[in-house]
Each structure stands twice: as C-alpha cells, then as structure tokens.
Chain A
Amino acid sequence: MKSITLLPDVQLTAVQTEQFKTDLLCVSFCWELSSETNTQTALLSRVLKGCGGSLGNREALNRRLSELYGAELFGYVQKKGDVQVMGLGLQTVANQYALAGENLQQESMSLLLDVLLAPLSKGFDPAIVSLEKENLKKAIESLLNDKKTYGVMRCTEFMFAGQRYALSEFGDLSKVDAITPQALLDCWQKLLRIGRIELFYMGRASFEQVAEPLKKSFSALRREPVAAEAVSKAVARDAVQTVPEQMEVAQCKLTMGLTTGITGNEDQFPALMVANAVFGGGPTSKLFMNVREKLSLCYYAASRLEKHKGIMMVYAGVEQDKLEPAIQEIEKQLKSTQAGEISDEEFLAAKKLLTHALRATADSPTQTLDFLLGEALCHTGRSIPDLIEAIMRVTPQQAVDAIAVTRIDTIHILQPEEVAQ
C-alpha cells in the first residue's frame, strides 16, 4: 500500500495486488455535513452518473459500461461524524481477462474522471436533474423499508436533535424540490474547490499508472481546501429519553444510542473497542449469550461503535411483550461489563474477534477504503497492523476503564401501537 498527498488535501492511496479479478477506483469527496448542502450533495452522486459525462446520458454510459465487461459505476454517500462523504466508484474487470486485449484499466479511469469533471464545462441537463430529484425523494422515503437501519437512523435523529449529526447523509425530503440545475452545479464546483478528496485504488496497475492520470485531472482544478472536522464528541444527556414510534411491524425494533466519551483519535479507543466487543460484538458477547441464547428474547442483539462521535449503538429485534425484559437485560449486561465481570475467555474472544476482522479487511477493497477514510478523518494515520497491535496490548483493566462512562442517551422503539409504560 502506498499513500501520498498528490495535491493539497488530495490524498491518493493505491494498493497493487493480483488478488482480485477486478480493479477498483473510488473518488470520495468530504466536507462539512450541513443542512445547506447535504441534500444537494446526495443528489450529486445520482446526477453525475445520470448525466454520463461526455456520453450525455445514463443509457449511453451504461452501454459503454456493459461493453467494458459489465464494469460497475456506483455512487455513494456516507456520514462520518460531522462530515458528509460523497463519491463515485468504478469496478472493472482486470486487463488480463479482456477478450480482445483492451486496456480496461486505462479506459475505466478516463471514464470515471470524465463523468466527474465533464459537467464543469457542460453543466447538468435539466431533464436529468429533474428525474434524479424524483428518484432521490423516493430513495429517502424508502429508508423506512429496512426496519433495522431505519431504527438506527431515527435513534440518531432524536439523540442529536438540533445538532449537525442529526442530519441525514441522504438529504432532507423537503429540500429536494427547490434544487435547480444551476444551484446543483454551483454546489459541485464548490465541493471540488473546498472539499477534501480521497482517491483510492486497489488492483493490478502500478502506482505510477494510477497516480499520473489522477494528478493530471485534479491539478487542473482550482483548489482552496477547507478543513472539515469529522470528530465531534457527543455530550452525555442528563436523563435517558425514550422515543416510541408507531409502525406496522411484526417485530419491534429496539435501538439504543449511548455516549462513550471516547472518540477514535484518542489513546483509549482501542481499549473501548475491546470492551465493546465483550459487550456486544459477536456470538460470545454478553448481549448474544444473554439476551439471545440464555433468555431467547431475540434473534439478533449487538452493539457497534461510531468513532467520530464517540457513541455506541445497540440494536435488537424483540417481541412487543418482551421489550422491557430486553431493555433491562441489555442494561444489566452493560453494568456487568463496566463492573469488570469479564472472564479470561470473554476477553480473549473479544480480542480475537477484532483482530480477525481487521486482518480480513485486506480481502475487501471497499472495506479497505472505508477503514482508510475513517482513520483519515480521525487524523490518526493508523494502519491496520498499528490498530491490531494496540488492541493486543489492551489489558482487562484498561477495557473496563474505557467503558466506565458509557451511558444510555436515547432509546428508540419501533412498534405497532402504544404500549402502557
């Protein structure tokens, strides 16, 4: 892996490997998550693809992609702490599998760069902007279809009401209609000018083969990068807030947001990772072994850290009449972890779970990208071997100390109708 600063706030990380049958190139743009731009940013990931760069429209772009052996050009938006990430990626079959000697790697890189940059001279076709606005609205509305992720989203909204992190990376439904093609172009120009740019490649090409065309394209841009801070530690609430939400569901979805007091850039974070794994990561965690196995209350019960905000999310699918016992058991297991009731086996299992997952990251280009982006936005410069080493050094006492101030902030319950509390 080689990572260099190609230009001010334009970082390129390239991994040359023959592991995969495909190459992946991703271009991610990061800037402040803001109510003025989050909707337009989400729309950009769709409109860029929809306009198809110099090819003029989506159908022409898709025809070209299918000729390139079904190359996949995908857009993505993410929220990492108080930063919104928007990007396009292109996964192409490696050159050696081309049946007529085509240089797929070169063609696909040119294609991706064209899709991103052609609008700067062409503008955005109003008909395409119009269509993609409708599609974005439908996508935002459809977030409720996956009940588990919807619960996490809503819990976050209530936990951070009035704060930046409550904003959705997919945008605000009520703000879509007002976006004009010009306003969208202005937004794109601004993002290109001030945003942090992360370039990521994983495939068979050499570093030079990748760096050269990328440097050429991006150095043509006028850049005035503005640093955006992703890390923004959540402050604990005085009393737990419980938010029931009615929806016609067969099974209630319980989501709990907790503040931990430790963000990813802090020394204690690896210890918190271990404590979280003991508590709710994997099939030997306290949540799995008790809420699921011992009490048969659910099929899934787990916890997950968000390192930029310094929070933890716990989620479980539970029968309505078992909500109270489930909440109580989750609280009990948290207290148990905080009290240091951790056996040697639990502790070892937690470390092994984490180190295995970290080592496994290298087998997935998209997971590798996500890790790099997350660490870059935490300013740690930490590599996977670094993090593995830090985790291995964590002692039981350090893990207990790290989770000491974790406390429940918000409980969100998706349920069919009101239950007498």
Chain B
Amino acid sequence: MKRIENEKLGETLYRDTLKNGLTLLVLPKKGFAKTYAVIATNFGSVDTMLPDGARVPDGIAHFLEHKMFEGETEGAFERYARTGANANAFTSFDKTAYLFACTEQLEQNVAILLDLIQHPYFTEENVKKEMGIIGQEIRMYDDDPSWRCLFGLLSGIYHNNYVKLDIAGTVESISKITPDWLNRCYRSFYHPSNMAFCMVGDCDPEAVRDMVERYLVDMPDCPVARSYPEEPVSVVNHEVSAKLAVSAPQFLIGFKDNDPVFSGMEFVKKQAVSEICLAMLGGAGAPCGEGLYRDGLIPAPLEMEYLAGRRFGVCMLGGESHDPAKVRDTILRAAQQLATAPHAELFERSKRSCYGDSLRRFNQVERLANDAVEWAFLEASVFDPVTVYDQITLEDVSKRLQSHFIPAGCVLSVIEPAAEEETK
C-alpha cells in the first residue's frame, strides 16, 4: 500500500489498487466514534449512453441506487439494522455511492456493503414498487426552491451537456425502467476499475485492505466506454425563471466554465482559484457582497459554490433578493473591476478564508471519505485542495475573473413567488 503523509495537516492517506482494479483509500483518524466507509462507481446522471450506444431512461443511475439495497431473502437495511450501522446511498451527476457509518461491528458492516454491491437483485415487482417511492421523491424535490433554481440554472447554461437532467429523472422517464435496463446499466458501469472504496475513522489500513480483498470477489472487471455530447461555448438563455410558493425571489447566478480541464492537479488549482474569486465577490468582508447586504438587496450573505465534476463546471452565487437582476449586474461589474484593477489585500484575505474552508472538510469522516473518492475519480488526491493554496497567485485570480466571470457566460435563474391567488 502507498502511504502519503501530510505532516502539516496531520493526516495520512493510504492508497492501493487491488488485483481486480478497485481503488482503495484509507484515512485513519484517531479519536472518532464513527467509522465511515463508502464505495462508489464513476457512473451518474450524466452517463446517458451504454457502451452499445443505447440511450438509458433518464434517472436510471438513481433508480439503480435504490434497487441495490434489495436482496433475494432480505434487504441490506435489515442486515445493517442487526449490526447497528447507519447506512445510506446517493447519486450525483457523475457518481453513485453506497455508504455506512458505524460505531461497532466494522467487519460485518463492510461485508454487507460489499455483498450488496456485488449481488444486485431486480424483479418486475420490486422495480414497479420503487416507481411509486421515487415518484414521491421527485415530487418532494419539485417543491424544493433550491433544487428547482439549480436545475433552472443548468438548463439555461447547457445546450447538450447531460448535467442539466434531473438526477432522479421524471415520473414519466422512470416509468420506462425495467429489470433488464437495470441489469444492463449495472453490467456496463459497476466494475472495480471504475470504482473506488474509502474508509475514514479509527481503523487499520492493512486490515481494511485484507477485508475488502476477501469480500469483493464476484465483480468481474471490464473497461468502461463513455460518450459525451458536443457543447457549444454559448449559453442557452441568460435568464430563466419558474414560479413556486416562496416568500420572495430565490436566485442563482451561474458562470459557465468552458475551460476543458476537469481532472488532475490543473483542475484542483482551477477549483481553488474559482473559490477565491467567489470569495472576493461575495465572501465575508468582500466589498461587493457587503455592499449588497448593506443596501438591502440581499437579507443574508450570498451562498457560493464552484459546482464541478466530470466535464462540467459552474461558478455559482445565490440567495434571496427582491431584485435578482440588480444583484447579477452588481456582481458582473465588481468582477470586471477586480479583473482590471487587482486588489491584493482582498485576494490575500480571500485566499486565507478558502484555505480555512479546505481544512474544515477534514472535520467529518463522511465528508472526508466522499471527497477522497471524488478526487480519486478526478485523478487527484484529497490533500491537493489544501496544499494547492501555496501555488496560487493574484495573477491566477485576475486571469480567471477575466475569462470566466463575464456576461457572455452568465445565467440568472430565479424562482419567483407564485401569484397571490394561487397561494391562498
């Protein structure tokens, strides 16, 4: 096993590639009550094509995630209930993850996790039943203003990139799903060389490696073929809106990332630079964001995120405002100003702030393990986002502001309050 120590952070990462191709990561952490394990496959809602060219029903990666918990005699939740683990799963744009946190019986829980991932069980009956449940999950998200605002933004930004598809699909698209479709997706994407396992907590790396090798035996490997649609530089629509029962307009301002690098150290640096730019615009103490608050345009600080993954990236600033367009215009002006007249003091402060944020991610076993797996898929290490700050200069940030935070790539997504009569 490879041992990567970061003395400044006080963390050590153990990494190995098993014979079957699985990437194994372990971060021992003393003193934590929970031990957390996650196994993820590099397959998410953006993966809409099978290697044979067939187009999958929208939402199938998420549907498959739900069904992996079924078993012939009993489901995984019933098994975890006996060993006392808190288990769950999630599907994102570019990966599907199965996980648990436990405070006892670690090996038994690892056995359950690796059993469920190797032995799918789909029947007509259990697939039909899930349609009702996921249908309700979709409806729940239909009422979620943040979720709707985000997908409004993505539909405004992307012409063809499948990141704009709702991760759970629609009630209509999931009605097309059959056991056969689920099997085909499973066989196309659930292969060890397309997967990563990470454990974080009070554990012994060698023992973990032995455990995983012993339990992960029924997963044949094969290369995964992917295809991505062409995506133009332009956005679809600079302004997108929808109506929901909210008290005041909720908005997201997004900047389309047309730079093609989304993996490796170059991407780690791009992410850190993007986050510093966002902090310089809307972070604590940033003149632009503070001005918006002081002038009563935003009742709370802007929330910012560089949402990025496999071949997509959007720098976002969001919140509530009675005049979202004015917020957008203010931010565009501030970005242009900062790009042409670099503000060294603001840059240093924002860099420090982002560095502090990167440290926080090591506080929780769940977040750290999920990050480790994500960075493995993006061909970097979970330490890189912390150590990269040493390399970032004011010039990097000015360049990014100039090329990325510009009107041409800017989309405003707004959720407007539904009219009075509708909410009575």
B-contacting residues of A (Cβ < 8 Å)? 17-22, 58-59, 62-71, 91, 93, 96-97, 99, 131, 134-135, 138-139, 141-145, 147, 246-251, 253, 282-284, 292-293, 296-300, 317-319, 345, 348-349, 352-353, 355-357, 359-364
Centre residue among B87, B248, B299 by max chain A CB count within 10 A: B299
Query: Are A147 and B353 neighbours in the complex by a CB distance under 8 Å?
Result: no
Can you name 19 extra interface pairs (CB under 8 A) apart from A65-B284, A349-B82? A19-B31, A20-B363, A66-B285, A69-B353, A69-B355, A70-B357, A97-B8, A139-B300, A145-B145, A249-B143, A250-B143, A251-B142, A251-B143, A296-B130, A299-B136, A299-B137, A317-B136, A345-B81, A352-B82
Contacts of A66 in B (CB 8 A): 279, 283-285, 349-350, 352-353
Contacts of B139 in A (CB 8 A): 250-251, 317, 319
**Given contacts A65-B285, A317-B136, A247 and B423 within 8 Å (CB-CB):** yes
Contacts of B284 in A (CB 8 A): 62-63, 65-66, 70
Measured CB to CB, the closest approach of chain A to B129, in angstroms, equals: 5
Contacts of A282 in B (CB 8 A): 81, 86
Centre residue among B131, B140, B283, B424 by max chain A CB count within 10 A: B140
Query: Are A251 and B32 neighbours in the complex by a CB distance under 8 Å?
Result: no
Contacts of B290 in A (CB 8 A): 58-59, 62
Query: Are B352 and A356 neighbours in the complex by a CB distance under 8 Å?
Result: no
Chain B 265-297 per-residue mask, 1 if CB under 8 angstroms from chain A, else 0: 000000000000001000111010010011010
Query: Are B354 and A70 neighbours in the complex by a CB distance under 8 Å?
Result: yes
**Given contacts A63-B349, A66-B284, A349-B81, A249 and B359 within 8 Å (CB-CB):** no
Q: Give Cα A109–Cα B29 distance, bound, in whole angstroms.
A: 27
Q: 14 A-B pairs, CB-CB below 8 angstroms?
A: A21-B360, A62-B285, A67-B349, A69-B359, A93-B359, A97-B359, A134-B299, A135-B299, A135-B300, A144-B247, A248-B422, A283-B87, A284-B78, A296-B132
A-contacting residues of B (Cβ < 8 Å)? 8-10, 29, 31-34, 77-78, 81-87, 101-104, 129-137, 139-140, 142-145, 244-248, 250, 279, 283-285, 287, 290, 293-294, 296, 299-300, 320, 349-350, 352-357, 359-360, 362-365, 418, 422-424
Contacts of A144 in B (CB 8 A): 245-247
Q: Give Cα A158–Cα B422 distance, bound, in whole angstroms.
A: 23
Residue of B nearest to A20 (CB): B363
Measured CB to CB, the closest approach of chain B to A20, in angstroms, equals: 5
Query: Are A139 and B299 neighbours in the complex by a CB distance under 8 Å?
Result: yes
Q: Give Cα A348–Cα B283 distance, bound, in whole angstroms.
A: 47
Measured CB to CB, the closest approach of chain B to A68, in angstroms, equals: 8
Q: Give Cα A50–Cα B403 distance, bound, in whole angstroms.
A: 35
Partner of A142 from the list B77, B285, B320, B418 (CB cut-off 8 Å) is B320
Contacts of A62 in B (CB 8 A): 284-285, 290
Q: Give Cα A357–Cα B101 distance, bound, in whole angstroms.
A: 10
Partner of B285 from the list A63, A139, A363 (CB cut-off 8 Å) is A63
**Given contacts A345-B78, A353-B84, A359-B33, A318 and B136 within 8 Å (CB-CB):** yes
Measured CB to CB, the closest approach of chain A to B351, in angstroms, equals: 10
Measured CB to CB, the closest approach of chain B to A219, in angstroms, equals: 32
Query: Are B101 and A299 neighbours in the complex by a CB distance under 8 Å?
Result: no
Contacts of A364 in B (CB 8 A): 364
Query: Are B133 and A296 neighbours in the complex by a CB distance under 8 Å?
Result: yes
Partner of A292 from the list B31, B133, B357 (CB cut-off 8 Å) is B133
Q: Give Cα A131–Cα B293 distance, bound, in whole angstroms.
A: 9
Centre residue among A65, A68, A352 by max chain B CB count within 10 A: A352
**Given contacts A66-B350, A283-B77, A357 and B86 within 8 Å (CB-CB):** yes
Contacts of A58 in B (CB 8 A): 290, 293-294
Query: Are A363 and B359 neighbours in the complex by a CB distance under 8 Å?
Result: no
Centre residue among A134, A293, A363 by max chain B CB count within 10 A: A363
Partner of B246 from the list A22, A142, A250 (CB cut-off 8 Å) is A142
Query: Are B363 and A22 neighbours in the complex by a CB distance under 8 Å?
Result: yes
Contacts of A147 in B (CB 8 A): 143-144, 245
Residue of B nearest to A352 (CB): B84
Partner of A67 from the list B101, B279, B352, B422 (CB cut-off 8 Å) is B352
Measured CB to CB, the closest approach of chain A to B36, in angstroms, equals: 10
Contacts of B354 in A (CB 8 A): 70
